Amino acid sequence: MAEARRTIDLLWFEEPAHRRGRKKGLTVTQVVDAAIALADEEGLDAVSMRRVAQELGVVPMTLYTYVPDKAALLDLMLDAVYLRMPREDTAHASWRERLAAVAEDNRVLYSRHPWAAGVAQSRPPLGPGLMAKYEHELRAFDGSGLDDVETDSALTYLLGFVRASARAAAEARAEAERSRRSDHEWWAENGPLLAKVFDPESYPTAVRVGGAAGAELGGAFNPDHAYVFGLERVLDGLGVLIERRGSDRRR
């Protein structure tokens, strides 16, 4: 409980610059920014209290006077990037345009900070960044006719799709970096072998569909196409629910 209270205090009220005794040389914001920069550059696995302390030029124990542990640091990192997200005014747009804007804002967030898509969010940091983000995104459903629980569930559904898309895109980029080959280069290299394996008589549908998709998309997986196609289907699905609620009101 003490650690949870400490994290909440850090999320909402950064400690004053002066305490009894020796003056502190850093701020919590500096610690969080260093951790974010490290995660952006090397991934979440690189973030540890020891490594962040090294980046800041202090001994590891010093870091614990600012942040109690790595779990709290991750909460602060995630809330910081949430707080810095742009929040475009889309009040006069249609609900579909507003939700597409919410999705795109989150996609940009994960593009800038890929590690954020990998942080467990079953217990999100209840800081000012999250609350501002949540308030802004809920307002995208204004006038949709959904009740409060449906609105929260619909937002969770939308953001879950964006997060999954971001993770798939990150995995595709990581695989390309490991192999040092693009999807196009990989398929060009392995095409002759795959042509022997994918017998059109044994797998006629797979060969036909896979060939058409590969030719159109330039590989087995195109993250941008998958995102655009998937988002349209998510919005279509939510549109059915919104239309149903509108029909219920007209009865």
103-114 pLDDT tens trace:
999 999 999 999
Look at residue 18 in the predicted model and tell me its pLDDT: 45
Contact 140, 95 (CB under 8 A): yes
46 pLDDT above the threshold of 70:
yes
How far is the C-alpha of 89 from the C-alpha of 121, rounded, in Å? 26
Using one digit for the tens of pLDDT, what is the confidence trace for 52-61? 999 999 999 9
Top pLDDT among 99 and 21 is at 99
Q: In angstroms, rounded to a whole number, what is the distance separating the alpha carbons of residues 81 and 92?
A: 26
pLDDT, tens only, 229-243: 999 999 999 999 999
What pLDDT shows up at residue 22?
43
Q: What is the DSSP string of 40-74?
A: HHH-GGG--HHHHHHHHTS-HHHHTTT-S-HHHHH
Instruction: Please give the single-letter amino acid code of residue 136.
Output: H
What pLDDT sits at residue 181?
Answer: 66
The pLDDT of residue 217? 76
What pLDDT score was predicted for residue 8? Answer: 81
Q: Is the pLDDT of residue 12 over 50?
A: yes
Q: 164-188: per-residue pLDDT in tens?
A: 999 999 988 887 777 776 666 766 6
The closest alpha carbon to 48, from 25, 12, 73, 83, belongs to 73
Geometric angle at alpha carbon 136, from 144 and 27, rounded to 5°: 165
Q: Give the pLDDT confidence score for residue 14 in this predicted structure.
A: 62
Largest Cα–Cα distance of the chain, in whole Å?
80
The number of CA neighbours under 13 Å toward the Cβ of 113 is: 23
pLDDT for the residue 174: 82
Q: What is the pTM of this model?
A: 0.84
Q: Give 148-164 pLDDT, tens digit per residue.
A: 999 999 999 999 999 99
- Please calculate the CA angle 82-83-89 and round it to the nearest 5 degrees: 95
Residue of 20 and 47 predicted with greater confidence: 47
pLDDT given for residue 16 in this prediction: 47
For residue 182, what pLDDT is reported? 65
pLDDT at position 200 is 78
Question: Considering the chain, what is the average pLDDT of its residues?
Answer: 87
15 vs 67, residue with greater confidence: 67
